Chain A
Amino acid sequence: MSLVDLMSMAKPNLKSRAKVFSKLKGRDLVNCFQCIKCTSGCTALKLLELKPHEVEKLANLGFVDELVASDILWTCVTCLKCIQRCPQKASPYHVIMALRNLAVEREVKIPEAFMKAVSQVLETGMAEAYQKIAKGTETFDRESLKLPRIGSPREGFQALFLKALEEK
C-alpha cells in the first residue's frame, strides 16, 4: 500500500512519535524545515521514489504507525548523503533506521534477508556464509588460496547476542 493511501485514514500517534524521536542519536527531527535537500540528493529517489523529506514530515506529524507499516522504509540505500547535506541536523537516515527497528519490534513483515543475516550472525558470528569463487574452470576458497582460518565466536556469544537483540 502506498503511503498516501495509508494516510487517508490515519491518525497521529504521539507515543510512537516520541519513541522514534528518542532514537535519533542526538539529531533533532523538529528542526526539519522541509528544504528537500535530502530528497534532491537521495540515491533511492531515482529508482524507488523514496522521498526522505516526506518521511521526515510524516514522522514529525506523528504518522509513525503508517510509516512503520510501509515498505518504503526498506528502499533506503544507506548512502548517507541525506545526513551529510541536511542543514538542520535532522537526519532522515536515522529516522528511517529508527522506523525499521520499530517495524521489527512490531513484527511487521520486512525483507527476509535482514532476519536471515541476524540468524546467520547468531549461528556463525558472521552475516554471510563462506563462498567458493569460480573463475574459468577453477574454483577457489580460503583453503586453496592459503588464507588463514579464522575462528568462530566462543561459547557464550550466542546468549549475549540474543540478550542484545531484546533491547528495545
Chain B
Amino acid sequence: MKTAVFWGCRILTSQYAYEMSVREVMPKLGVELADLPEALCCGDPVKSVNDFAATYLSARVMALAHALDAGQLLVPCNRCHFTISEAKRSIEGDKKVSEKVSGMLAEEKLEYNPNMRLWHVIDFLHGFVGLEKVKKAVKPWKGLRLASHVGCQIIRYSDLGRVDNAENPTKLDELIGAVGAETVDYAEKLDCCGAHLLLSHVDTAFSLAGAKLRSLRELGVDGLVVSCPDCGLMYDFKQKDAAATVGVKLEIPVVYYTQLLGLALGIDQEKLGLHLNQSPVDRLLMKISV
C-alpha cells in the first residue's frame, strides 16, 4: 500500500530536523513515502476562527493524498494528526458537513476517501513497521537514560481513536527501549509544552515548557525525546527562552525520536539534521559515541 506523507506547516517551515530524520529513517525500514504535491495547513489555527474552514482544509489534505493513490497517510505532527482526525469524524458523522465538503472538493476534482488510514510516526513505527522490525534493524546502545514526551494531541481524547493510551502512553517509551535506552517515569510526563499559547500568551507558553524542563533537570536524564514539531520547537528551539522565563539554567539535549532511531540505524548525524538542534545535543551524542 502506498504511503503519503503530510508534514503540516511547522515541520516544513522550521523543524527541518524532524523532516530530514523521517525521510532518512523510513526507507531504511522498507517504507517509501510520497509527498503531497502542495504544502497546506491542516486547519489547526483556523479551528479557533471557523471550524468548518478547518474541516475543509483537513479534508483537502486527505483528498490530495487520495489523488496520489495512497491508501494511508503519515502525519508526523501531533496537532495535524488531531485536526485531521476530528475533521474525519465530522465528515463521516455529519451528512451536512460531508455534502458541503465533498462539493467543495469536487470543484477541484478532488475526492474524499473515508478509508484513508491515518498514522502518526509513533504508531506507524510501533504498529505498521513493527517494534520487532525496529529492534532487528538497529544497533542498540547501553547506559543511556532518557525521558519521553509524547505530547497531547496524539493521545487525547480516547473516543476519537488516538495513537496511544491517554493516561499511560507506552509506545514512545517502547520505541526508545528498542534502541537500547532506558526511559524514566516522571510526574510531569503528560504535561503540555504550551505551544498553542504562542498565539496569545507567549510568556505563559514558555513557563509551561520551562516548568517541565526544570523537573527533567532534577531527574538528571541524558536527554528528552519528542515526536511533535510543536514540542520540538518549545523544548529544543526555545529552550533558552523557557529557561529565562522560569529563571533556571537549562542544558537538556532534546531530540526527535526519528533522530535517535536514525543514529541507531547508523545514519550520519548531518543527514538527521542533528546540526540544527538548538539544545546541547552534543552531550547526548558524546555519550552515544563512547
Q: Name A residues whose Cβ lies closer than 8 Å to a Cβ of B.
A: 23, 25-26, 43-44, 46-48, 74-81, 83-84, 97-98, 100-101, 104, 110-111, 113-115, 117-118, 120-121, 124-131, 133, 135, 140, 142, 145, 147-148, 150-154, 156-157, 160-161, 163-165, 167
B14 to chain A, nearest CB (A): 4
Contacts of A117 in B (CB 8 A): 41, 45-46, 199
Q: Say yes or no for B289: interface residue by CB 8 A criterion.
A: no
Of B40, B48, B273, the residue contacting A125 (CB under 8 A) is B40
Most buried by B among A47, A75, A164: A164
Most buried by A among B35, B38, B41: B41
User: Which residues of chain A are near B157, meaning CB under 8 Å?
Assistant: 80, 83-84
Could you list 15 examples of A-B contacts with CB < 8 Å?
A47-B208, A78-B152, A80-B152, A81-B152, A100-B49, A114-B200, A121-B46, A124-B39, A125-B39, A128-B13, A154-B108, A160-B104, A161-B57, A164-B50, A164-B52
Give the total number of A-B pairs whose CB atoms are below 8 A apart.
176
B36 contacts which chain A residues (CB < 8 A)?
150
Q: Which residues of A contact B100 (CB under 8 A)?
A: 167
A145→B13 contact, CB < 8 A: no
Nearest chain-B residue to A142 (Cβ)? B16
| B interface list, Cβ under 8 A from A | 7, 9-10, 12-14, 16, 19-20, 35-41, 44-53, 56-57, 60, 82, 86, 89-90, 93, 100, 104, 107-108, 152-153, 156-158, 166-167, 190-192, 194, 196-201, 204, 207-208, 273, 275-276, 278
- Whole-angstrom distance between the alpha carbons of A131 and B208 in the complex? 24
Contact between A83 and B156 (Cβ–Cβ < 8 Å)? yes
**Contacting residue for A104 out of B13, B49, B93, CB 8 A:** B49
A100 to chain B, nearest CB (A): 4
Q: Which of B56, B90, B197, B275 contacts A77 (CB 8 A)?
A: B197
* Chain A: minimal CB distance from B80 (Å): 11
A residues less than 8 Å from B56 (CB atoms) = 160-161, 164
CB distance from A47 to the nearest CB of B (A): 5
- Contact call A118/B49, Cβ cutoff below 8 A: yes
Q: Which residue of A lies closest to B273 (CB)?
A: A145
Which residues of chain A have C-beta atoms less than 8 A from B16's C-beta? 133, 140, 142, 145, 147
Other-chain contact of A97, B9, B12, B14, B47 (Cβ < 8 Å): B47
Q: A43-B192, A84-B166, A114-B199 are in contact. Are A101 and B45 (CB under 8 A)?
A: no
